[in-house]
């Protein structure tokens, strides 16, 4: 039997598949559906320090091989998460990843401090949030802005710090190097791609915000390209995500050099997707005489 364990940030994860933020609740919702102990971790619903109601109007739209969403980071806030969600999340039998975004550097710093004190295992910093002090430009677009917020957060973060990158970065390799230099322990990418849809009957955009995030298999080849670039730019671990639907999809990211993968949109199609993909990775390894993931990680780059 293939050994699916992954060593990440000095810890041993049960497997290479981590449930992606915003697609898996906080974990307990899936406890009766999947064996969560087989996962490498669960990245909880994206949080902001004070919480927010999310976007009005249409929020989801299926597209060919994809899904558009305009949720707007609806969440209960860090304090509510710590009191009401985290205790059950810790009982899921896998590593607890808290995903946090903020609209100012100060919000990010305070949220990270609270989450670390509460005992999360990994902090995933979402830098796609708009920086209100910079006119609404997302932290994840310019490397200098990303370096600023990551450096500030690093000063209070006492757990492994993973920075989740936006595909809108001006220069992805420069962005990767900037967050590594600022103290990130790892990188996850990529977040959703900006997209647009028009309602022909209403003759207007489907979403109130006009643009929405596109995820799903349609973006996988682009996400894979970005992961390839990130692995080549930094020495810290890169966690790949974007349209992974099968074990074969996940193996592409691992062969491109990803330390682990995250599975998101697939959970809406198949609630057992994370465990199924884990199983499919193991089946491929057994069929090809591969004992550990280290044997094939980055092999496509050779």
One-letter-per-residue 3-state SS of the chain: CCECCEEECCEEECCCEEECCCCCCCCHHHCCCCCHHHCCEEECCCECCCCECCCCCCCEEEECCEEEECCCCCECCHHHHHHHHHHHHHHHCCCEEEEECCCCHHHHHHHHHHHHHHCCCEEEEECCCEEHHHCCEECCCCHHHHHHHHHHHHCCCCCCEEEECCCCCCCHHHHHHHHHHCCCCEEEECCCEEEECEECCCCEECCCCCEEEEECHHHHHHHHHHHHHHHHHCCCCEEEECCCCCHHHHHHHHHCCCCEEEECCHHHHCCCHHHHHHHHHHHHHHHCCCCEHHHCCCHHHC
Q: Which residues contact 124 (CB under 8 A, 6 or more apart)?
A: 21, 43, 97, 98, 99, 100, 162, 163, 164, 188
Question: Is residue 284 within 8 Å of residue 293, measured between CB atoms?
Answer: no
The residue from 92, 116, 129, 196 that is catalytic is 129
For the question of residue 129 being annotated catalytic, the response is yes
Between CA 59 and CA 56 the distance in angstroms is 8
The sheet that has 193-196: what strands, in order across it? 60-63, 66-69, 211-215, 193-196
Q: Provide the sign of the torsion angle of the four alpha carbons 30, 241, 46, 210, taken in this order.
A: negative
**Which residues belong to the active site?**
129
């Amino acid at each position: 039997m293939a050994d699916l364990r992954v060593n990440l940030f000095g810890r041993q994860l049960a497997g290479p598949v981590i449930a992606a933020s915003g697609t898996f609740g906080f974990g307990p919702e899936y406890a009766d559906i999947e064996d969560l102990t087989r996962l490498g971790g669960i990245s909880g619903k994206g949080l902001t320090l004070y919480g927010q109601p999310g976007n009005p109007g249409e929020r989801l739209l299926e597209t060919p091989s994809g899904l558009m969403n305009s949720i707007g980071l609806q969440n209960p806030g860090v304090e509510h998460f710590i009191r009401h969600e985290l205790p059950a999340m810790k009982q899921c039998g896998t590593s607890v990843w808290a995903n946090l975004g903020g609209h100012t550097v100060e919000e990010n710093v305070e949220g990270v401090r609270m989450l670390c004190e509460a005992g999360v295992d990994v902090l995933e910093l979402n830098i796609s949030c708009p920086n209100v002090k910079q006119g609404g430009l997302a932290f994840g677009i310019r490397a200098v802005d990303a370096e600023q917020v990551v450096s500030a957060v690093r000063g209070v973060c006492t757990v492994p710090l993973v920075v989740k990158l936006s595909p809108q970065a001006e220069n992805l390799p420069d962005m990767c190097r900037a967050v590594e230099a600022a103290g990130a322990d790892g990188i996850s990418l990529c977040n959703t791609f900006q997209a647009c849809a028009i309602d022909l009957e209403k003759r207007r955009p489907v979403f109130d915000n006009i643009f929405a995030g596109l995820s799903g298999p349609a973006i996988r080849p682009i996400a894979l390209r970005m992961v390839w670039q990130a692995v080549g730019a930094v020495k810290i671990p890169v966690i790949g995500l974007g349209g992974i639907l099968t074990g074969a999809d996940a193996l592409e990211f691992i062969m491109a050099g990803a330390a682990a993968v995250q599975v998101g949109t697939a959970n809406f199609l198949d609630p057992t997707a994370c465990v199924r993909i884990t199983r499919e990775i193991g089946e491929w390894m057994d069929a090809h005489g591969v004992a550990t993931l280290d044997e094939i990680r980055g092999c496509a780059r050779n």
